[in-house]
Amino acid sequence: MPKSLGHSGLGGAHNTDVSSRRLAAAVTLFAAIAVLIGLDLLADAQTGVDRGHLAAEGLVMAFAVIGIIALWRGFLTAQSRAARLNVDLASARAEAAQYRAEAAHYRAEARDALRGLGEAIDSQFERWQLTSAEREVGLLMLKGLSHREVAEIRKTTEATVRQQALVVYRKSGLANRSELSAFFLEDLLLPRADSSQEADRAS
C-alpha cells in the first residue's frame, strides 16, 4: 500500500523546516553573544580588570560556545530528518501515482468487460423477445434489486413488478432469479484459465 500523504506527512516536513529555521536563528544569536563576550573579555583584559571578572565573563563565553555546539548538532539532526522526510514523501508520491495509474487501468478494463456483458445481456433479452419493461425489470433484478426497489425505481406497484418478473422467467425458460443471474454471471465467477490449461483442454 502507498504511504499516507495526509496532514501527518506534510505537517511533519513543515514542522521540521520551521524547527530548522529556529535552530539556525538560535545558533546565530548564541554566536553573536559569544563574539560580543569575547570582544568584551579582550577589552577588559587590556584594561586590567580583576581576574574574577574575567573568569566570570570567560565562563559565560564558554557556556555560549557550548550552547552553539549543542544547537548546531540539533540543527544538523533536524536537517538530516528533513532530508529523510523529503525522500519518504517523494517515494510515497511516486507509489501513489503508480497505484492511481493501476486503478485507472483496472477501471478501463472493467468498463470494457461490463460493456461487453451489457451487450450480451441485451442481445439475450432480445432473443427471449422481452418487452422494454420486461428488459428493465430483468436488468434491475440482475443488479440485485428487490421487487420493492424495482417498483420504486419504475414508479409502479410491487405486484406489477412480480408479474413482469414471472413473464421474464417464463420467456427465458428459467425458474427464478438465481437461475437468471447464473445464466449471465456464472462464467464470470470462474477463475481465468492460463494458457497451459487452455492448451490441455484443446488437446
Per-position DSSP letters for 129-140, written without gaps between them? T--HHHHHHHHH
CA distance 139 to 81: 57
Question: For position 14, what pLDDT does the model report?
Answer: 57
11-25, 82-96, 114-128, 160-174, range with the lowest pLDDT: 11-25
Q: Highest mean pLDDT range out of 45-54, 87-96, 147-156?
A: 147-156
Check residues 29 and 19 and name the one with the higher pLDDT. Answer: 29
Classify residue 200 by burial, with Cβ atoms within 10 Å: 0-12, 13-18, 19+.
exposed
Question: For position 167, what pLDDT does the model report?
Answer: 95
Question: For position 129, what pLDDT does the model report?
Answer: 95
Check residues 69 and 151 and name the one with the higher pLDDT. Answer: 151
CA distance 177 to 181: 6
CA distance 37 to 49: 14
Residue percentage of the chain with pLDDT more than 70:
74
Amino acid at 26: A
CA distance 203 to 195: 12
What's the mean pLDDT in 79-108?
85
Q: Which three cell numbers stand for residue 79?
A: 536537517
Question: For position 165, what pLDDT does the model report?
Answer: 95
Confidence of residue 6 (pLDDT cuts 50, 70, 90): very low
